[in-house]
Chains A and B, each alone.
Chain A
């Protein structure tokens, strides 16, 4: 507010530009880390100022004309009435908008190339956090605000940060070079024009050019001086600003120059006080601008501003770049920001709309709080941004749209499935950040553009949440051994690629914005063996890292790997014959069990009594100890039941060989699962570890006994599905006890009749175990299940395992997690206690936006998983995800990740069906589609309401929801056994996204013509890539053969008239009639089609940890129904076809 002098006269004009610019910072904010963008910033920044300059004189006219071009045209008169004025405007508009924009765009593609212009400002200031704010102030809200002040702050900070910039600069060079072409135009043209009007400005411009020539190193001082001279007049300062902008662009264009700039920065004495004299201008363009401003504005205001800034920085700008750590100066570049914003976003098409929108936005009205003090700056931005962005959103329709926002008419467009699997959307970050960002396989967010406020999120009607797969098997994982693990001192965030280094000695946390010291050790980079480059450490170069933790991270010495197997040996179990498979698998994989020399193993069997096995080393054979007092279970010989795997290996092998035959003649039909589990808990509690429970029937004795709750007549009921929740809290309590003792319980349920999985599953759900279910398991009658058990066991026994783990999910201040999904116990607000963690476990969390995110352009999420490896090492695996914040609804939709949304909704629907009812959950799923599409259609006002339109990013949403409604977990009307349903629900809660998506919407391929398909080469193998087919019977032809990939099972469906050659070559049978009913393997036939088919299937298998079972299906096969129930686009007696579902949605939207 103190600015009054020059700018005061033209407040409206200024404010408008500022609004634009402010946007830039946010968007650009994403790019903070990237130095590139900073570089680019300059150009835009300056160009923007130029526009601003023009505008102030125009005054009223500016306001009216919203388009940049118009502005420019008008400006000329102001600039001095010279003929050049108009030219300038034309040039600037033309060059700026078209040349620079387009060129840069083309060059950069979707990256923040656009941001180049906007981000440029940041570059100049990269080092200075204050800088960032500064520009904002000047340009945006406070037209009057003393620029000098801002400048002063900038400089001061710049000094401190100087040393770091190098990295950022490098990056910048590239971008600049690409842009450089456009820039020159601007400069040349501009210079002549503007200079004529104001001498001072000219000089500055020249100086800028000089700077460029010299790499900007020495020129700064000159610029300042010149500027000062010219800037004294209130009216004139404007001009210099514009000029400086232009010039800066050229500077940006030459990469060298930009780099120089950053390094050059001299400590600017407080600009406010000494603007003219101060030679310190490091960022020549910016300085020029600011100085001009200073000259125009009163210097006195400067000091207070500075203070405010400092305060702001402390909490405000999370996005500081990693390298330079200076906050983005974006605010200063109001107009440019607008223009650039679209680019930054990667939605080139948006640009026109944005540009239009930007100029008109009155900055001041939006930022009510700004005037009083600078402190409010950050807020101002957002406000401006919101306005402008919303305008931009409106204008979207007229301009081209980003691909993800392209409207898709769902009722007409029948082929919406992509050719190959649906890729995860890439967040709109600049390329540097994007490269650093966490892989979508481990960490996905439902909205890759985070809405600024909860209100905006509510408007979008999409859930906000994360889907995590933190312990995924990784082929490449940087492991860091370091005595000190660098973490934020207040929020305990691990250092990550998205923090900013303020200078060599300090870094700013990207979650809580606290400034922390860089420890001495961290200065040394073990990779490059260099000192003083903390930003090149692997922790800062990788978003997924693993630390070897010191003893600070242990409550007790790392536990050994301990495995306890609890086996059901009642009549039912022996009859099913699972014991043979389990013992066989264990024997085969005994040496592959993850662990070290301390690994321990034990066995408990149970029927109506509980049997323990003494395997103590030295015994000649295993000793069975029977405890029949199941009401008060005790351990007969506590010390010798869990034995060292290596010392007692022979005894263990003896036991495993004998076990399948020991109970062959048992007549015991009861099952005392509860007491057996209590015993297991007692056995495990001193160490912790893993209990694997194999159960084949309803527990009928002792604690935890259950009664059948399923009414078979209700299986296909369309009304109420009861008993989805547990019947008793026994298993839950047991699980919590186990969890407290670092013991996980994994459940294998192999039953032929109802076993109340809803109750039994609790033992795994809350102890972080996993659940496997094999309905109607029988070793010989159901070979598919037997094979599945065998494969699952192989994976289960040999996969990685983490013990006594905890996981914490942290997110940027303002976001909070309110619901967790997965198998674990939430010990405190954000701490998940995982007794065991396995690589196949997925998690989901729902989040809400508690505080508006308007003062930040990036949000980060960090999961840290602390676990003990099977080798007894304490390790921390850290994933960090960084996403941009957006303020317009259109952008939120553009960034929607439909697969993540669907998976999160599935998790929420499971909760809902347990806590409320299944029909509630189904309604909620349908409403999710209806609401979000209705909301989208209302934002896109030019769309015809009679059509069902979805943005491209959400075009699969209705299809997936329909698939979900037809999934076992949520379907009604089709006969579904309660256990099947509950198991499907358990899987939804605990499967990682990739697997879950295949469960919900399987992939269908036609495989009888693989030879003609395009191929890729993987490890010297030729893998055909057939296109995805719609899940509809209309795609199945009698002449074809189809493969359906359901995640855990492959179906191959053979048409009746399928080519005999295919049947012969691939299946190994002479004709269709001779193909057996139960075929689970493809023979190795020496034919091209066979080879291709097998390579395709093995390629599919390789992509997942669990090797799926293959089932060949002919028309008469009873498994046919399994196959056809996955054709979710078709109508069934109980459910809509896809088209009907769409019409239904449309109807509801119109209501």
Chain B
């Protein structure tokens, strides 16, 4: 789930002179992380809907999804921090709630559970639905971010 770093780099085009090294890194990292965002979210949605349709076992579904929880948390946190460092306040604030939520979700997993997605609970109390909803919302958020980043990148290129 590492979120759109690419755009962040683009946005920073104007400040590149001030922080050239950092921005380059930032750019590269965000491109990398962006590459993983959509496949990851897509995977999450596809796996969950597979589970809904009974194509997949709850156990394998959850272990598949849990593998991606930590990369997502880290990726998004890194991007958010990079935004802060490069002083993109608006984008930073936009990403902050989502990143916080990701971390919170990861930390709040009860000690006995097998991760954010627990095969013994995922069918109870509408958890499957709420996970699905969450994934959808995040997908929407990242799409929005993607276009924002794209826009600011183009803007930065033009300004250059």
Q: Which residue of B lies closest to A733 (CB)?
A: B114
Binary contact track A730-755/B, C-beta < 8 Å → 1, others 0: 00110010001000000000000000
At the interface, yes or no: A911 with Cβ under 8 Å from chain B? Answer: yes
The smallest C-beta distance from A982 to any residue of chain B, in angstroms, reads 12
At the interface, yes or no: B71 with Cβ under 8 Å from chain A? Answer: no
Within 8 A of A (CB), among B35-57: 51-52, 54, 57
- Residues on A with C-beta less than 8 A from B21 are none
At the interface, yes or no: A683 with Cβ under 8 Å from chain B? Answer: no
Within 8 A of B (CB), among A612-662: none
Counting contact residues on chain B (CB < 8 A from A), the size range is: 10 to 19
List 22 A-B residue pairs with CB atoms under 8 Å apart, sorted by A's residue number: A725-B112, A726-B110, A726-B111, A726-B112, A727-B111, A729-B113, A729-B114, A732-B113, A732-B120, A736-B59, A818-B124, A818-B125, A818-B126, A819-B124, A825-B58, A826-B58, A827-B58, A828-B51, A829-B52, A831-B54, A911-B124, A911-B125
Question: Are B123 and A736 touching (Cβ within 8 A)?
Answer: no
A993 to B81: give the CA distance in the assembly, Å: 55
Known contacts A728-B112, A762-B112; is-contact A827 B124 (Cβ 8 Å): no
- Residues on B with C-beta less than 8 A from A825 are 58, 119-120
The smallest C-beta distance from B65 to any residue of chain A, in angstroms, reads 15
Within 8 A of A (CB), among B48-103: 51-52, 54, 57-59
- Residues on B with C-beta less than 8 A from A831 are 54
The smallest C-beta distance from B53 to any residue of chain A, in angstroms, reads 8
The smallest C-beta distance from B44 to any residue of chain A, in angstroms, reads 18
The smallest C-beta distance from A555 to any residue of chain B, in angstroms, reads 14
Question: Are A819 and B125 touching (Cβ within 8 A)?
Answer: yes
Within 8 A of A (CB), among B90-148: 110-114, 119-120, 122-126, 128
Q: Which residue of A lies closest to B55 (CB)?
A: A828
At the interface, yes or no: A759 with Cβ under 8 Å from chain B? Answer: yes
- Residues on A with C-beta less than 8 A from B110 are 725-726, 915
- Residues on B with C-beta less than 8 A from A733 are 114
**Interface SS majority for chain B:** loop
- Residues on B with C-beta less than 8 A from A732 are 112-114, 120
- Residues on B with C-beta less than 8 A from A728 are 111-112
The smallest C-beta distance from B64 to any residue of chain A, in angstroms, reads 15
Counting contact residues on chain A (CB < 8 A from B), the size range is: 20 to 34
Q: Which residue of B lies closest to A758 (CB)?
A: B112
Binary contact track A1021-1051/B, C-beta < 8 Å → 1, others 0: 0000000000000000000000000000000
Max count, chain B CB within 10 A of own CB: residue among A729, A740, A766, A915: A729
Question: Are B124 and A826 touching (Cβ within 8 A)?
Answer: yes
Question: Are B111 and A766 touching (Cβ within 8 A)?
Answer: no
A725 to B126: give the CA distance in the assembly, Å: 20
- Residues on B with C-beta less than 8 A from A758 are 112
- Residues on A with C-beta less than 8 A from B54 are 828-829, 831
A176 to B59: give the CA distance in the assembly, Å: 58
- Residues on A with C-beta less than 8 A from B126 are 818-819
- Residues on B with C-beta less than 8 A from A829 are 51-52, 54, 123, 128
The smallest C-beta distance from A696 to any residue of chain B, in angstroms, reads 22
- Residues on A with C-beta less than 8 A from B122 are 826
Number of A-B contacts (CB under 8 A): 61
Q: Which residue of A lies closest to B119 (CB)?
A: A736
Max count, chain A CB within 10 A of own CB: residue among B58, B112, B119, B122: B112
At the interface, yes or no: A820 with Cβ under 8 Å from chain B? Answer: yes
Question: Are A725 and B52 touching (Cβ within 8 A)?
Answer: no
- Beyond known contacts A728-B112, A829-B123: 8 more, CB 8 A cutoff: A729-B113, A736-B119, A736-B120, A759-B112, A818-B126, A825-B119, A826-B124, A829-B51
CB contact between B57 and one of A726, A818, A828, A915 (< 8 Å): that residue: A828
- Residues on B with C-beta less than 8 A from A740 are 59
Q: Which residue of A lies closest to B52 (CB)?
A: A829
The smallest C-beta distance from B124 to any residue of chain A, in angstroms, reads 5
Q: Which residue of B lies closest to A820 (CB)?
A: B124
Max count, chain B CB within 10 A of own CB: residue among A728, A733, A762, A819: A819
Mark B residues whose CB is within 8 Å of A: 51-52, 54, 57-59, 110-114, 119-120, 122-126, 128
- Residues on A with C-beta less than 8 A from B52 are 829
- Residues on A with C-beta less than 8 A from B119 are 736, 825
Q: Which residue of B lies closest to A735 (CB)?
A: B120
The smallest C-beta distance from A327 to any residue of chain B, in angstroms, reads 32
Within 8 A of B (CB), among A785-841: 818-820, 825-829, 831
Question: Are B58 and A766 touching (Cβ within 8 A)?
Answer: no
**3 smallest beta-carbon distances between A and B, as pairs:** A726-B112, A826-B123, A828-B54
The smallest C-beta distance from A845 to any residue of chain B, in angstroms, reads 10
Known contacts A818-B126, A819-B125; is-contact A826 B120 (Cβ 8 Å): yes
A759 to B112: give the CA distance in the assembly, Å: 8
The smallest C-beta distance from A1088 to any residue of chain B, in angstroms, reads 54
A725 to B113: give the CA distance in the assembly, Å: 9
- Residues on B with C-beta less than 8 A from A819 are 124-126
Max count, chain A CB within 10 A of own CB: residue among B51, B124, B126: B124
The smallest C-beta distance from B108 to any residue of chain A, in angstroms, reads 11
A736 to B58: give the CA distance in the assembly, Å: 10
Question: Are A766 and B123 touching (Cβ within 8 A)?
Answer: no
- Residues on B with C-beta less than 8 A from A827 are 57-59
Max count, chain A CB within 10 A of own CB: residue among B59, B113, B122, B128: B59
A734 to B76: give the CA distance in the assembly, Å: 33
- Residues on B with C-beta less than 8 A from A828 are 51, 54, 57-58, 123
The smallest C-beta distance from A192 to any residue of chain B, in angstroms, reads 63
The smallest C-beta distance from A1118 to any residue of chain B, in angstroms, reads 35
Question: Are A725 and B111 touching (Cβ within 8 A)?
Answer: yes
Q: Which residue of B lies closest to A726 (CB)?
A: B112
The smallest C-beta distance from A271 to any residue of chain B, in angstroms, reads 44
The smallest C-beta distance from B60 to any residue of chain A, in angstroms, reads 10
Q: Which residue of A lies closest to B125 (CB)?
A: A819
Q: Which residue of B lies closest to A759 (CB)?
A: B112
Q: Which residue of A lies closest to B110 (CB)?
A: A725
Question: Are B112 and A727 touching (Cβ within 8 A)?
Answer: yes
A740 to B63: give the CA distance in the assembly, Å: 14
- Residues on A with C-beta less than 8 A from B57 are 827-828
Max count, chain A CB within 10 A of own CB: residue among B52, B58, B59, B120: B120
Q: Which residue of A lies closest to B112 (CB)?
A: A726
- Residues on A with C-beta less than 8 A from B125 are 818-819, 911
Binary contact track A759-777/B, C-beta < 8 Å → 1, others 0: 1001001100000000000
A637 to B101: give the CA distance in the assembly, Å: 51
Within 8 A of B (CB), among A312-371: none
A733 to B54: give the CA distance in the assembly, Å: 21
Q: Which residue of A lies closest to B120 (CB)?
A: A766
Within 8 A of B (CB), among A703-736: 725-729, 732-733, 736
The smallest C-beta distance from B122 to any residue of chain A, in angstroms, reads 8
- Residues on B with C-beta less than 8 A from A765 are 120
Q: Which residue of B lies closest to A824 (CB)?
A: B120
Q: Which residue of B lies closest to A709 (CB)?
A: B111
Q: Which residue of A lies closest to B111 (CB)?
A: A727
Question: Are A729 and B112 touching (Cβ within 8 A)?
Answer: yes
- Residues on B with C-beta less than 8 A from A911 are 124-125
The smallest C-beta distance from B68 to any residue of chain A, in angstroms, reads 18
A509 to B148: give the CA distance in the assembly, Å: 53
A395 to B123: give the CA distance in the assembly, Å: 42
A733 to B119: give the CA distance in the assembly, Å: 10
Q: Which residue of A lies closest to B54 (CB)?
A: A828
A108 to B59: give the CA distance in the assembly, Å: 53
Question: Are A820 and B114 touching (Cβ within 8 A)?
Answer: no
Q: Which residue of B lies closest to A727 (CB)?
A: B111
The smallest C-beta distance from B70 to any residue of chain A, in angstroms, reads 16
- Residues on B with C-beta less than 8 A from A915 are 110
A829 to B128: give the CA distance in the assembly, Å: 9
Q: Which residue of A lies closest to B62 (CB)?
A: A736
The smallest C-beta distance from A1026 to any residue of chain B, in angstroms, reads 42
A1075 to B128: give the CA distance in the assembly, Å: 59
A723 to B16: give the CA distance in the assembly, Å: 52
The smallest C-beta distance from B85 to any residue of chain A, in angstroms, reads 36
A726 to B112: give the CA distance in the assembly, Å: 5
A915 to B54: give the CA distance in the assembly, Å: 26
